[in-house]
């Protein structure tokens, strides 16, 4: 049984998961219409990572995200309208529509940014945790990254410093089994969660199709961090149901494996926890929210060529 304190009420949980899912599906449609500048990396199937982790966070906690980060942004509380507008290249977007998917930030809600550089957020999140520690705040930093990023030099550097200084940080590795077009076996020797041990702090692995498990593990890690006991590495085993980018035929994927993940989809499971009426109400709410976001965005002028920066 999920600990009720640790995840939002079922309807909220479903709402958050569905928002992540439908936001991306809607953006993908817009992309196919040719309205989204730049490549688009979707996290379909990975929603429970973002929602589960952020269930353990406050607004004043900070996160760093990746090139595949819409779900992180939304779960941390980014504004749906401004995100949609940014992705659609509109002046009302987070950075005036100039930057798109890989560069969305909202420091007001603790979102330091998605990132076009794999592993680029690791030093920054570590620095944020350092800043929080210096200030004596009991906020924490969460660093999201893919299993591919564990091969970057930044990964080892960040883990080591976080451990040495007992920084208030949670490293969340979203292991979705692929890095671009190659499987995680091309990228990761050994097991990601075990890397923490070598630095003397805990590493745990959780099932990314179970949002409660993700939330539980993160709650523990965050409590540790807030108490001044240092970092934790949480490896969330999940699966990228989408291609690397919208348009990727993903021929490298095993269809049976994908189907197995679809069968235990966290969004569907959260929906199943509601009555039909409850679920339908949330469905409608989210469709309405996203339709409005798209309408508002499309009504706004496109990014201003006079405002480069």
Partner 1 sequence: MTTTVDGVRSLKYWQGVNQALHQEMDRDERVVLVGEDVGGPGGPYGVTRNLRATFGPNRVRDTPISESTIAGLGIGAAAVGLRPVVELMFFDFCMLAMDQIVNQAAKYRYFTGRSLPLTIRTMSGSGGSYGAQHCQSFEAWFAAVPGLTVVMPSNARDAKGLLKSAIRSDDPTLVIETFGLLTARRDTPVDEDFLVPLGVAETRRSGDDVTVVATGRMVDRSLEAAERAAAGGVSVEVIDPRTIAPLDRTAIVESVSRTGRLVVVQEASAPFSLAAEVCALAAEECFDRLRAAPVRLCADFVNVPTPQDLIEARVPGVDDILAAVTRVTGR
> Rounded to whole angstroms, how far apart are CA atoms 149 and 153?
9
Minimum separation from the CB atom of position 178 to ligand TPP (A): 5
B/e letters for 95-109, b = 16+ CB within 10 Å, e = fewer, are bbbbbbbbbbbbeeb
Q: Choose one: 175-183, 257-265, 275-283, 292-300; the region binding Mg ion (CB under 5 A).
A: 175-183
115 part of the interface to a second copy, by CB under 8 A: no
152 part of the interface to a second copy, by CB under 8 A: yes
161 part of the interface to a second copy, by CB under 8 A: yes
194 part of the interface to a second copy, by CB under 8 A: yes
Minimum separation from the CB atom of position 218 to a second copy (A): 22
Residue 23 or 178 having the CB closest to ligand TPP:
178
199 part of the interface to a second copy, by CB under 8 A: yes
- Please enumerate in sequence order all residues whose Cβ is within 8 A of that of 143, keeping only pairs 6 or more positions apart, or say none: 63, 64, 121, 122, 125, 126, 158, 169, 170, 171, 172
Burial of 267 (0-12, 13-18, 19+ CB in 10 A): buried
Alpha-carbon Rg of the chain, whole angstroms? 18
CA neighbor of 231 nearest in space, from 136, 160, 302: 160
Residue 106 in tokens: 């909202």
Q: Which residues bind partner 1 (CB under 8 A)?
A: 37-39, 62, 64, 89, 95, 97-100, 102-107, 112-113, 115-120, 122-132, 134-135, 141, 148-149, 151-154, 157-158, 160-161, 164-165, 179-182, 186-188, 252, 302-303, 305-306, 308-309
Q: Which residues bind a second copy (CB under 8 A)?
A: 150-157, 159-161, 163-164, 186-191, 194-195, 197-201
């Amino acid at each position: 049984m999920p600990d009720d304190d640790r995840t939002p009420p079922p309807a909220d949980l479903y709402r958050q998961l569905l928002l992540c899912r439908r936001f991306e599906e809607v953006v993908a449609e817009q992309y196919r219409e040719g309205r989204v500048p730049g490549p688009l990396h979707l996290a379909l199937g990975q929603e429970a990572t973002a929602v589960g982790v952020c269930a353990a966070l406050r607004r004043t906690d900070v996160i760093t995200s990746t090139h595949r980060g819409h779900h992180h942004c939304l779960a941390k509380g980014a504004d749906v309208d401004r995100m949609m507008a940014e992705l659609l290249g509109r002046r009302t977007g987070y950075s005036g529509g100039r930057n798109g998917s890989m560069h969305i930030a909202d420091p007001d809600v603790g979102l330091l940014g998605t990132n076009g550089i794999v592993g680029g957020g690791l030093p920054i999140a570590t620095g944020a945790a350092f800043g929080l520690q210096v200030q004596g705040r009991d906020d924490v930093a969460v660093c999201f990254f893919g299993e591919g990023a564990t091969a970057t030099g930044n990964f080892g550097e960040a883990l080591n410093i976080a451990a040495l200084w007992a920084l208030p940080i949670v490293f969340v590795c979203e292991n979705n089994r692929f890095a671009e077009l190659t499987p995680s076996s091309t990228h990761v020797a050994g097991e990601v969660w075990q890397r923490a041990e070598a630095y003397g702090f805990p590493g745990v692995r959780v099932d990314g199709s179970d949002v409660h498990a993700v939330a539980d593990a993160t709650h523990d890690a965050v409590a540790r961090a807030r108490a001044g006991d240092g970092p934790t590495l949480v490896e969330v085993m999940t699966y990228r149901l989408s291609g690397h980018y919208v348009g990727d035929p993903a021929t490298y994927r095993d269809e049976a494996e994908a189907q197995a993940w679809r069968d235990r989809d966290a969004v569907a499971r959260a929906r199943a926890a509601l009555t039909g009426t409850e679920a339908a109400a949330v469905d409608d709410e989210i469709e309405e929210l996203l339709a409005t976001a798209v309408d508002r965005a499309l009504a706004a002028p496109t990014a201003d060529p006079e405002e480069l920066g």
